[in-house]
C-alpha cells in the first residue's frame, strides 16, 4: 500500500518534534503542501502575517521571549526577499529563527527560465544574511537537512538559518521516518574551558580589588552564576540585549547606563581594575563607536572565538559557554577576592547620581519611565521600536527583571517594533505585552496591526506621536546644520485607525497623565492602543550625542 505521507508532512511533524507550537508567515503557491500539512496536523498555531517582513520579525520576537525556535514560512523569490530585513535583525540579535522557504521546481532551479517566483541565486541571497542556508535536493535528505538547520540555529552563537524546499519535493510521497517517534535535536554541549585556561582566568580575577562585569545576551543563561559574582562584590553593566539577566533594580547594577555621554560613569570605570566581559560584543552602538573609555584590563568570556578583540582589545580571552565557564570559575575564586572596602558604597553613590542626572536631561519626559514601571505588571514583556523615548529612558533606565522580557531592534532599524511585539505576545502566555513605538515606525508596518486583531493577542500598542521621524531630526540637527528635510510625516488619525477594528483607544496629552492613561489600556484583556500626543506634552529635548556643544 502506497504511503500518503509526503515531504510536506515531514516538515510539519519535524517542527512539532522540535517543540515548535507556533509559526509565522504567508501561504503561497510554493509552500502550500507544507502549510497544508501543518493545517491538517493541527499541532502548530500558524499566525498569518500581512507581509514576510513582519512574519520574520514575529518569528524573531517569539524566539526571544520563548527561548526556543522561531519559525517563518515564506514563498520563494520576492517572498523570501521580503523576509530579508527581519532575518538581518534576527542575526543582529542572535535569535534562533528557522526560515523555511519554497523554491521553484527542482528541474528549473538555478536555470533562470522565468518560472513563477523564479529567483536568481536565492540560496546565495539567504546565505548572505543568515548563519547558514541549505537546499533540500532530494526527498531522502529532507530530515537530515532540516535537522542540521534547526541545530545550527539553536547552537551558540545562535542565529537565523534558511532552508529551501523545492515545490515538487514537498509533494513527494515517502515512508514516515521511524526516528520521529523519539526525535531529539542533536544540540552540541557548550564548551567548558580546560583546567589550564580556568586556572589562568581565576588567577587574573583574584587579583582584582575593584572588578566589574559587562554582560550581554550570551550571558542570559548564566544569571545564577552572575548573581554569585555580584554577591562577592562585583558591580555590573548590561548591554541592551542583555537587559534583565540581572534585574535592573539590583543595587550592584547600572543596567543600561554604559557611560555613553556620561563622564561620571567613565570616571568610575577608570577606577576599576578588571572588566570581566561575558557573552557580549561591547557593541559600538553602546560605547559611542568604541569611544567610551573602559577599564584597560578586559578579560573576555565568549562562546565565539571570533569575539576575541573584535571591538576592545582583551588582555585575556576564554572561549567557552558563559554558564559553564562561570560555574567552573566560582569555586576557584570563592573566599579569595579582596574587594576594596569602599567600592560598594562608591558605586551606590554613583548609581543614585547618574540615574538622577540622566532623567534630569529628559525634561518633561523624565518621569515617563517611573510612571510606566508603576503601572506595568512586573512580568510584562517590554517591546519597543527605535524612538527618542526608547533610545533614552526605554533602553537605559527602564527596569526589567528577567532576560526574556526585553525585545527591541538590536540593529537599530525603524519600524520593527510592532511585528516583534506580535511574536513576543504569541509567546507570552498569560503575561501582558506592551510595545512602545513612534508614529514613523508604527506607520511603516501598520498592516500587521490586523494580524494582532485576527490572532486576538493581549498587547498594548503605545504610539509616541511627534508627527515625524524625531530621531532623524536630531541627527539632522547635529550633522546637517539643522536642515530637517524629509522628516515630517502626515499619517492617519490614530484614534480613527483603532476604531476601524474596534480596538480600545486612549490618548494622553500631558506628562502627568501618562501612567494613568496606559493603566486604562493595561486593564483591558486583548489588543489596545495608547497615543501619546508629544506635540501637546512638549518637544522631546536633545539627548546624547545631540545635546553636546559643537565646535
Sole residue written with cell 508614529: 439
pLDDT tens-digit map of 255-288? 999 998 899 999 999 999 999 999 999 998 899 8
Q: Please identify which residue in the block is written with the cell numbers 537546499.
A: 135
Q: If we measure between CA atoms, which residue out of 470, 438, 464 comes closest to residue 532?
A: 464
Is 198:163 a contact under the CB 8 Å cutoff? no
> Distance (Å, rounded) from C-alpha 383 to C-alpha 396?
14
In the three-class reduction of DSSP (H, G, I as helix; E, B as strand; rest coil), residue 365 is classed as helix
Across the chain, which has 551 residues, the per-10-residue mean pLDDT values are: 85 98 95 96 97 98 97 95 97 97 83 76 94 97 98 97 97 96 96 98 98 97 97 96 94 94 94 98 90 96 96 97 98 96 97 95 96 98 96 94 94 94 97 97 94 97 93 87 89 95 97 98 98 96 76 38
Closest CA to 405 of 369, 379, 444: 379
pTM attached to this predicted model: 0.95
Evaluate whether 218 touches 202 at the Cβ level (below 8 Å): no
**How many CA atoms are closer than 13 Å to the CA of 225, on its beta-carbon side?**
19
DSSP state of 253: B
CA 421 – CA 434 distance, rounded (Å): 7
Rounded alpha-carbon distances, angstroms, from residue 521 to 168, 492, 501, 505, 524: 48, 21, 16, 8, 6
290-295 contacts, C-beta under 8 A, 24 or more apart:
292/258, 292/259, 292/260, 292/266, 293/259, 293/266, 293/269, 294/214, 294/259, 294/269, 295/212, 295/269, 295/270
Signed CA dihedral, 11, 16, 19, 21: sign only? positive
In degrees, to the nearest 5, what angle opens at C-alpha 10 toward C-alphas 8 and 13?
115
According to DSSP, residue 176 is labeled P
Please give the angle made by the CA atoms of 159, 160 and 166, to the nearest 5 degrees.
Answer: 155
d(CA 412, CA 85): 12
Specify whether the CB–CB gap between 265 and 241 falls below 8 A: no
Is 483 exposed, middle or buried, given 0-12, 13-18 or 19+ CB atoms closer than 10 A? exposed
Q: How far is CA 253 from CA 205, 212, 215, 350, 397, in A?
A: 19, 10, 10, 11, 11
Report which secondary-structure segment, H or E, holds 26: none
- What is the distance between the alpha carbons of residues 332 and 336, in angstroms, rounded to a whole number? 8
Where do we find the cell 541545530? 151
State in Å, rounded, how far the first CA of the chain is from the last one. Answer: 82
Enumerate the H helices of 155-194 as residue ranges: 167-170
Give me the pLDDT at residue 472, please: 87
Q: Report the side by side order of strands in the sheet with 161-166.
A: 45-48, 22-25, 70-74, 97-103, 161-166, 132-135
Q: What's the pLDDT at 549?
A: 57
Model pLDDT, residue 550: 47
Tell how strand 381-384 and strand 97-103 pair up. Answer: unpaired
How many alpha carbons fall within 13 Å on the CB side of residue 9? 14
The answer to whether 121 and 133 have CB atoms below 8 angstroms apart is: no
Distances (CA, A) of 174 to 9, 14, 354, 501: 9, 14, 64, 45
- What is the grid cell recorded at 117? 517566483
In this predicted structure, what is the pLDDT of residue 112? 79
Domains of the chain: 7-182 (3.40.50.970), 195-352 (3.40.50.1220), 361-537 (3.40.50.970)
Distance set, CA 227 to CA 110, 138, 274 (Å): 53, 49, 17
Amino acid at each position: 500500500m502506497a504511503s500518503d505521507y509526503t515531504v510536506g508532512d515531514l516538515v510539519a511533524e519535524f517542527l512539532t518534534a522540535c517543540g515548535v507550537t507556533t509559526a509565522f508567515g504567508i501561504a503561497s503557491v510554493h509552500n502550500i503542501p507544507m502549510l497544508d500539512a501543518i493545517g491538517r496536523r493541527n499541532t502548530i498555531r500558524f499566525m498569518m502575517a500581512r507581509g514576510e517582513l513582519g512574519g520574520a520579525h514575529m518569528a524573531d520576537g517569539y524566539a526571544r521571549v520563548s527561548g526556543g525556535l522561531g519559525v517563518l514560512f515564506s514563498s520563494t523569490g520576492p517572498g523570501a526577499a521580503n523576509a530579508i530585513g527581519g532575518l538581518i535583525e534576527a542575526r543582529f540579535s542572535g535569535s534562533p529563527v528557522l526560515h523555511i522557504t519554497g523554491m521553484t521546481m527542482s528541474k528549473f532551479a538555478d536555470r533562470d527560465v522565468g518560472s513563477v517566483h523564479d529567483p536568481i541565486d536565492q540560496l546565495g541571497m539567504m546565505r548572505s544574511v543568515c548563519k547558514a542556508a541549505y537546499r533540500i535536493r532530494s526527498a531522502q535528505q529532507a530530515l537530515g537537512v532540516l535537522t542540521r538547520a534547526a541545530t545550527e540555529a539553536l547552537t551558540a552563537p545562535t542565529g537565523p538559518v534558511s532552508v529551501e524546499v523545492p515545490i515538487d519535493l514537498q509533494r513527494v510521497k515517502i515512508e514516515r521516518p521511524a526516528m520521529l517517534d523519539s526525535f531529539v535535536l542533536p544540540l552540541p554541549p557548550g564548551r567548558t574551558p580546560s583546567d589550564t585556561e580556568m586556572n589562568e582566568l581565576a588567577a587574573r580575577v583574584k587579583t582584582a580589588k575593584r572588578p566589574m562585569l559587562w554582560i550581554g545576551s550570551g550571558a542570559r543563561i548564566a544569571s545564577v552564576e552572575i548573581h554569585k559574582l555580584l554577591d562577592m562584590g562585583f558591580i555590573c553593566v548590561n548591554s541592551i540585549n542583555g537587559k534583565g539577566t540581572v534585574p535592573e533594580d539590583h543595587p550592584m547594577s547600572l543596567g543600561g547606563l554604559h557611560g555613553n555621554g556620561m563622564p561620571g560613569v567613565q570616571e568610575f570605570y577608570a577606577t576599576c581594575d578588571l572588566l570581566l566581559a561575558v557573552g557580549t560584543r561591547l557593541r559600538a552602538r553602546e560605547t559611542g563607536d568604541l569611544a567610551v573609555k573602559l577599564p584597560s584590563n578586559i578579560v573576555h568570556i565568549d562562546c565565539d572565538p571570533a569575539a576575541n578583540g573584535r571591538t576592545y582589545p582583551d588582555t585575556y580571552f576564554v572561549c567557552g559557554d558563559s554558564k559553564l565557564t562561570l560555574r567552573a570559575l566560582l569555586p576557584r575564586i570563592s573566599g579569595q577576592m579582596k574587594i576594596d572596602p569602599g567600592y560598594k558604597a562608591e558605586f551606590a553613590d554613583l548609581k543614585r547620581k547618574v540615574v538622577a542626572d540622566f532623567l534630569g536631561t529628559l525634561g518633561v519626559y523624565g518621569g515617563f519611565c517611573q510612571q510606566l514601571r508603576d503601572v506595568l505588571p512586573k512580568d510584562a514583556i517590554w517591546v519597543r521600536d527605535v524612538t527618542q523615548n526608547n533610545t533614552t529612558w526605554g533602553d537605559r533606565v527602564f527596569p526589567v527583571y528577567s532576560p526574556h522580557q526585553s525585545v527591541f531592534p538590536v540593529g537599530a532599524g525603524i519600524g520593527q517594533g510592532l511585528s516583534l511585539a506580535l511574536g513576543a505576545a504569541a509567546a507570552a502566555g498569560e503575561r501582558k505585552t506592551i510595545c512602545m513605538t513612534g508614529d514613523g515606525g508604527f506607520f511603516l508596518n501598520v498592516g500587521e496591526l490586523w494580524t494582532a486583531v485576527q490572532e486576538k493577542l493581549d498587547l498594548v500598542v503605545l504610539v509616541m506621536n511627534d508627527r515625524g521621524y524625531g530621531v532623524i531630526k536630531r541627527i539632522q540637527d547635529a550633522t546637517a546644520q539643522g536642515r530637517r528635510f524629509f522628516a515630517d510625516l502626515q499619517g492617519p488619525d490614530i484614534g480613527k485607525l483603532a476604531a476601524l477594528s474596534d480596538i480600545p483607544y486612549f490618548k494622553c496629552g500631558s506628562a502627568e497623565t501618562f501612567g494613568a492613561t496606559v493603566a486604562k489600556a493595561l486593564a483591558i484583556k486583548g489588543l489596545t492602543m495608547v497615543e501619546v500626543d508629544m506635540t501637546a506634552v512638549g518637544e522631546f529635548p536633545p539627548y546624547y550625542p545631540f545635546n553636546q556643544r559643537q565646535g
